[in-house]
Amino acid sequence: MLPLPIRSAREDDIDAIMTLEAHGFHAPIRESRDVMRKRLRHFPEGFLVLENIAGEAIGYLCSEIWTGMAPDHRHFALGHDIAQTHHPDGHCLYISSMTVHPQQRGSGLGRRFFQQSVALIRDRRPHLQDSILLLSAEWIGAHRIYQACGYAEVARLPGFFTAIAQQNAEAIVMKLTFIDGDA
């Protein structure tokens, strides 16, 4: 697969990241600039951006490393402090968020960006054994990407997305156990 131009986020990407956040998520579940800045400072290898030809961020994926799987509201909570949850020696990669710019969607870029980002983080942190993420039951596109990458549902958190749900406010927690050669 042709490698995408993916790199660690820099401090000067923060405006573009916040624009992507505004395009990607409804207001009640958007992360603040402060939370995003903390994430990219605390674990830069896990905060990746997809560049366009001008070097601007047209997608981002951010993550943390956890010591174990904990499908609990508090760990997934909006605005949580990465300094409290990220443990570099842990074995579980938590993908805290991902989005691509609306103008770039629908042609397979989201899936490739996700696959290649997880592969990059695994290259940088070979001790990782598994990965976890959480999404709204209403995010069909994201669900298809994660399923295609081997993630499977392990829990549901009722009412997690009440603030934005059209019909189904459940969060789905998905997990993937890494085996050599997948991503």
Ligand X SMILES: CC(C)(COP(=O)(O)OP(=O)(O)OC[C@H]1O[C@@H](n2cnc3c(N)ncnc32)[C@H](O)[C@@H]1OP(=O)(O)O)[C@@H](O)C(=O)NCCC(=O)NCCS
Considering CB under 6 A, how many residues would be counted as binding ligand X? 18
Nearer to ligand X, 28 or 88 (CB): 28
Q: Does 139 bind ligand X (CB under 6 A)?
A: yes
Q: Give the footprint of ligand X on residues 4-63 (CB under 6 A).
A: 24
Q: Does 108 bind ligand X (CB under 6 A)?
A: yes
Nearer to ligand X, 25 or 44 (CB): 25
Q: Does 142 bind ligand X (CB under 6 A)?
A: yes
Q: Does 140 bind ligand X (CB under 6 A)?
A: yes
SS3 per residue for the chain: CCCCCEEECCHHHHHHHHHHHHHHCCHHHCCCHHHHHHHHHHCHHHEEEEECCCCCEEEEEEEEEECCCCCCHHHHCCCCCHHHHCCCCCCEEEEEEEEECHHHCCCCHHHHHHHHHHHHHHHHCCCCCEEEEEEECCCHHHHHHHHHCCCEEEEEECCCCCCCCCCCCCEEEEEEECCCCCC
Q: Which stretch binds ligand X (CB under 6 A): 30-38, 66-74, 102-110, 118-126?
A: 102-110
Q: Which of 88, 144, 154, 163 binds ligand X (CB under 6 A)?
A: 144
Q: How far is the CB of 89 from ligand X (least distance, A)?
A: 26
Rounded-to-integer distance, Cα 179 and Cα 183, Å: 8
Residues found near ligand X in the complex (CB under 6 A): 24, 98-100, 105-111, 135, 139-142, 144-145
